[in-house]
Amino acid sequence: MDNLVDAVRGMRDVLPDDFARQQHMAHQINHVLSTHGYQALDLPLLEHRDLYVRKLGEELAGKIYEFSFNGRDLALRPEWTASVLRAYISKLVDQPLPLRLRYTGPVFRYERPQRGTWRQFTQIGGEMIGAPAPRADAEVLGVACAGLHAVGIREYHISIGHIGIIRALLGSLGVSERTRSVLTWSLERMRNRGVDVVRDALMNEIEGEQQGFDTSVLAGLDDAQAEDLLLHTLRSIGVNLQFGTRPPEEIVRRLVRTLRTHDQRPTVERAIAFLAELSVIRGAPAQALADVTNLITRYQLPDPGLAEVRALIDLLPLHGVDMQRVTLDFGIGRGLHYYTGMMFEIDDLRGLQLCGGGRYDELVGALGGKQSVPAVGFSYGLERVVLAAPAETIPPAQMAVVVAWEDATVYPYALEVAQLLRSQGVIATCELRERPLSQQVRDAQRRDYQVVVVSVADVTARTVQWRDQRQTESISLADLVVRCGGSA
């Protein structure tokens, strides 16, 4: 029972007034997405656990609500992107590209509750499948900003990074694929907690992997020769390599990579020093690009594709993005390992993240698609958007009426009046108990409802008594409809 209580702690009850405001903002944002061609879809809350752990990254994978049922490992949806692409691969691959999809719904993450962070929250987002950078990236950023404007948020800041450029630079430094991944997704930790934290963790891992191995026998051999030698040796001494889902060649390839890690030490040290400088580069686009170019030149590395970032920056104003709000930040990590290119975050002026997204060109293939498809997307945290929106961003008022009565013989007429008002789009409730009129009027006023009273005399005359704090007035049903905002 204690585990169940802890699991739901930090989830939030959304009561009527807050829910109305939240739904209003969701409608406004979805309207923006809809007018940009994003089609709505809905997907199950439950998915196979593997869908998420494969590409989410250790930080988010550790926050998944997961369980086993009838021999299957399942999870509550922690984010939408992987689920949307799973649906695309299984049911939408025959659609013309680019395919724009939007969604609204709850996600679940087991993390420490704090201001604007709950274990169940609502994401609204869009995914554009089949469109390359940089035009699609610029459109997505423009749509994200337009959604915030639609709910009255005008003060915010956009940080843009590019994980593809960072991976290319690490590749140019000669870092192995595995070490490259570790370093890439340690960017924010390096900036926030220091270089030594990342260096110590990585070097300890390398020491643990190479302990007990004498790699001198592989000296002078390239990877292919080393793999052939090791495969032949292991088979000669009777080591069984037929286990798991990986073929023996893949197992040996990974083992050779592990055995060579000691050769990576100087390279890793150089890469860490490089990333330490790169991760703190942030500022206005022109200055940040100049700083990155100088850093690349100093390390004698080839251009990793900065032209794509420059093109994106040039396109953003065409999508209504105020460039005074934009910062290029080469230390953004975002923690989701499926990103391959541009990434962005939008924060309010207090630093509360409202929206984030990026490009993930390899995710379709990683999730079982027959071929890689370029894709980019983003999502808002709806509850945070509500917190950041101006207080005056409230749903438009809708007329609400209580039809009150004292004599049970007029109850059928009271229902008829209520039904007439509803047909005109008015919120109308009918008193269900035989109570004094004064109590009915008092309760209606507490709910900010208008009061319509029907009496025996009104049934024949087809009238009602309109009652407010100033007076009681007898009006016809036609006049009642007009007064409540309908048409006679």
pLDDT in tens, 293-331: 999 999 999 999 999 999 999 999 999 999 999 999 998
In the prediction, which pLDDT does 122 show? Answer: 96
In the prediction, which pLDDT does 206 show? Answer: 57
Q: Give the mean pLDDT of the chain.
A: 87
For residues 142 and 136, give the distance between their C-alpha atoms in angstroms, rounded to a whole number: 10
For residues 189 and 201, give the distance between their C-alpha atoms in angstroms, rounded to a whole number: 11
Contacts of 382 (CB under 8 A, 6+ apart): 22, 25, 26, 29, 104, 121, 122, 123, 124
In the prediction, which pLDDT does 149 show? Answer: 97
Q: Is the pLDDT of residue 375 over 80?
A: yes
Q: Is the pLDDT of residue 219 over 70?
A: no
**E strand or H helix at 282:** strand 282-283
Could you tell me the CA-to-CA distances from 450 to 103, 308, 414 in Å, in that order?
36, 59, 15
**What value does the mean pLDDT take over residues 279-299?**
96
Is residue 125 within 8 Å of 103, Cβ to Cβ?
yes
In the prediction, which pLDDT does 204 show? Answer: 64
In the prediction, which pLDDT does 194 show? Answer: 76
DSSP code, position 362: T
In the prediction, which pLDDT does 211 show? Answer: 47
pLDDT in tens, 150-188: 999 999 999 999 999 999 998 898 887 777 877 887 777
In the prediction, which pLDDT does 187 show? Answer: 78
In the prediction, which pLDDT does 199 show? Answer: 79
Q: Is the pLDDT of residue 216 over 60?
A: no
Global pTM reads: 0.82
In the prediction, which pLDDT does 214 show? Answer: 52
Question: Of the candidates 338, 377, 450, 354, which has an alpha carbon nearest to the alpha carbon of residue 129?
Answer: 377
Query: Residue type at 385?
Result: V
pLDDT in tens, 402-421: 999 999 999 999 999 999 99
**What value does the mean pLDDT take over residues 204-209?**
56
**358 C-beta neighbours (distance < 10 Å), count:** 26
pLDDT band of 228, cuts 50, 70, 90: confident
Angle between helical axes of 177-184 and 265-278 (0-180°, round to 10): 30
Comparing 106 with 252, the larger pLDDT belongs to 106
| CATH fold of 400-483 | Rossmann fold (3.40.50)
Please give the backbone phi and psi of residue 388, each rounded to the nearest 5 degrees, phi first.
Answer: -85, -20
Q: Worst-scoring range by mean pLDDT, 246-260, 275-289, 362-376? A: 246-260
For residues 90 and 69, give the distance between their C-alpha atoms in angstroms, rounded to a whole number: 23
The two domains 2-173+301-388 and 400-483 share their CATH topology (first three levels equal): no
Contacts by 55-62 with C-beta closer than 8 Å and gap 24+?
A: 55/82, 55/336, 55/337, 55/338, 55/363, 55/366, 55/367, 56/82, 56/336, 56/337, 56/338, 57/185, 57/335, 57/336, 57/337, 59/335, 60/109, 60/335, 60/336
In the prediction, which pLDDT does 72 show? Answer: 92
Please give the backbone phi and psi of residue 381, each rounded to the nearest 5 degrees, phi first.
Answer: -90, 105
For residues 238 and 231, give the distance between their C-alpha atoms in angstroms, rounded to a whole number: 11
**What value does the mean pLDDT take over residues 379-390?**
96
The token duo for 258 is 């592990």
Task: Select the CATH number that applies to the domain covering 2-173+301-388 from these four: 3.30.1280.10, 3.30.930.10, 3.30.565.60, 3.20.20.70.
Answer: 3.30.930.10
Query: Residue type at 399?
Result: M
Q: Is the pLDDT of residue 6 over 90?
A: no
How buried is 401 (Cβ within 10 angstroms: 0-12 exposed, 13-18 middle, 19+ buried)? buried
pLDDT in tens, 42-55: 999 999 998 887 66
pLDDT band of 113, cuts 50, 70, 90: confident
Comparing 149 with 189, the larger pLDDT belongs to 149
For residues 176 and 198, give the distance between their C-alpha atoms in angstroms, rounded to a whole number: 16
The token duo for 106 is 């709850």
pLDDT in tens, 61-111: 778 899 999 999 999 999 999 999 999 999 999 999 999 999 999 999 998
In the prediction, which pLDDT does 207 show? Answer: 55
For residues 401 and 426, give the distance between their C-alpha atoms in angstroms, rounded to a whole number: 7
Question: Of the candidates 356, 411, 317, which has an alpha carbon nearest to the alpha carbon of residue 125?
Answer: 356
For residues 425 and 419, give the distance between their C-alpha atoms in angstroms, rounded to a whole number: 10
pLDDT band of 189, cuts 50, 70, 90: confident
For residues 394 and 17, give the distance between their C-alpha atoms in angstroms, rounded to a whole number: 10
Q: Is the pLDDT of residue 59 over 70?
A: no
The token duo for 368 is 């079982």
Q: Worst-scoring range by mean pLDDT, 56-70, 109-123, 440-454, 464-478? A: 56-70
Token pair 């309010």 in the structure block, residue? 348
Q: Is the pLDDT of residue 210 over 50?
A: no
**What value does the mean pLDDT take over residues 431-460?**
91
Query: Residue type at 78?
Result: P
Contacts of 2 (CB under 8 A, 6+ apart): none
Q: Where are the domains of the chain?
A: 2-173+301-388, 191-282+290-300, 400-483
Is residue 436 within 8 Å of 452, Cβ to Cβ?
no
pLDDT in tens, 343-368: 999 999 999 999 999 999 999 998 99
In the prediction, which pLDDT does 356 show? Answer: 96
